[in-house]
Amino acid sequence: MKDIKLKDRLIFALDVPEVDQAKDLVNQLDDSVTFYKIGMEMLMTGQYFPLMDWLLAKDKKVFVDLKFFDVPETVGRTIARLSQYGATFATIHGNQALMETAAENKGDLKILAVTALTSLDRGDLDDLGFKCDVQDLVISRAKRAFEAGCDGVVSSGLEVPFLREYVDNKLIAVTPGIRPVENDDDQKRVVDVATAFKSGSDYIVVGRPIKNANDPYVAASNIQEIIKTCF
């Protein structure tokens, strides 16, 4: 068993266009969320790192979701600098050399390799030139990430059971695309909260189902209650 606090298993995707909106949401969510993911949209505000510092000062954990993808040496230097800021997770997206270099420079930062985005389905992967099954692609990338020294992967809950079968259980599995059964947005390979954890996920990332709720605090608290029943 990994040493993960129950409340930390819910990561809220702080995907809003302005820092003030982000802070308002964090204040609304209060003690219902302890872990926040901040991504590319927030980077464009120019206040990404001040927001990270603000979250850390509130004793929140931070997941830097920028999916670093460049030549390995550049990514390695970037990860080395990022490791000084106090974030818990950071995502990378690339080949074996990139993953190895990121792992070599991570310090206390945990590196998550992206397997296959949850917004992609079989047709999308065909268009991108991946002729293998989604499941095979995810398992292959997860194995390579673990061998490279990465701490974990970002994976749909649909593929997590196969990761647990074929990859060392030390690998952290972070599952985005958590939705109710009825889903009509751009996420295609989705599961619900209980299914994600029963399948072997260590963390889930939830955005719109909390952000767009009438009461985000209640929505997040309800998810936390479901998580308690899974362990």
Q: Is residue 225 part of a domain?
A: yes
In tens, the pLDDT along 9-59 reads: 999 999 999 999 999 999 999 999 999 999 999 999 999 999 999 999 999
Output the pLDDT for position 183.
44
In a domain, 115, yes or no: yes
Residue 158 domain flag: yes
H helices present in the chain, as ranges: 19-29, 40-43, 48-57, 72-82, 96-104, 122-127, 134-148, 160-166, 193-198, 208-211, 216-229
Give pLDDT, residue 186. 42
Candidates 205, 200, 44, 37; CA nearest to 119 is: 205
Hunting for tokens 């059971």 — which residue is that? 161
Averaged pLDDT score across all residues of the chain: 89
**182 within domain boundaries:** yes
> Which residue has better confidence, 156 or 132?
156
Residue 98: inside a domain: yes
State the CATH number of the domain containing residue 38. Answer: 3.20.20.70
Output the pLDDT for position 182. Answer: 43
- If 0-12 CB within 10 Å is exposed, 13-18 middle and 19+ buried, where does residue 108 land? exposed
For range 125-143, the mean pLDDT: 72
> Can you tell me the distance from the alpha carbon of 31 to that of 45, in angstroms, rounded to the nearest whole number?
26
Catalytic residues: 67
Q: Which pLDDT score is estimated for 123?
A: 61
Q: Which of 209, 195, 99, 83 is nearest to 150 (CA)?
A: 99
Which of 59-63, 115-119, 126-130 is the most confident on average? 59-63
What is the predicted pLDDT for the residue at 95?
A: 87
Residue 223 located in a structural domain: yes
In 3D space, the residue among 201, 110, 209 whose CA is nearest the CA of residue 159 turns out to be 201
Sign of CA dihedral 120, 78, 9, 209: negative
pTM value? Answer: 0.90
- Using the predicted structure, report yes or no on whether residue 201 has a pLDDT greater than 80: yes
CB 38 within 8 A of CB 16: no
Q: Which residue has the higher pLDDT, 128 or 51?
A: 51
Q: Give the pLDDT band (50/70/90) at residue 187.
A: very low
Note whether residue 189 is domain-resident: yes
Kindly state the average pLDDT of the residues 127-149.
79
What burial class does residue 145 get, using C-beta atoms within 10 Å of its C-beta: 0-12 exposed, 13-18 middle, 19+ buried?
A: buried
Q: What number is the average pLDDT over the span 202-231?
A: 95
Helix (H, G, I), strand (E, B) or coil at 19: helix
Range of the domain at 36: 6-229
Do residues 154 and 91 make contact, with C-beta atoms less than 8 angstroms apart? yes
Q: What is the pLDDT of residues 78-104, one digit of tens each?
A: 999 999 999 999 999 888 999 999 999
User: Tokens in use for 208?
Assistant: 């719109």
Q: How confident is the model at residue 129 (pLDDT cuts 50, 70, 90)?
A: low
Contact (CB, 8 A) for 184 and 212: no
Per the domain annotation, does 116 fall within a domain? yes
Q: What is the mean pLDDT of residues 191-199?
A: 92
What lies within 8 Å, CB to CB, of 2 at 6+ separation is 170, 172, 202
Q: What pLDDT was estimated at residue 94?
A: 81
Burial of 191 (C-beta count, 10 Å sphere; 0-12/13-18/19+):
buried
The whole-angstrom separation of Cα 168 and Cα 177 is 23
How much is the average pLDDT of 143-165? 92
Total domain count for the chain?
Answer: 1
pLDDT at residue 72 greater than cutoff 80: yes
Mean pLDDT over residues 94-121, rounded?
85
Q: Give mean pLDDT, residues 130-149.
A: 82
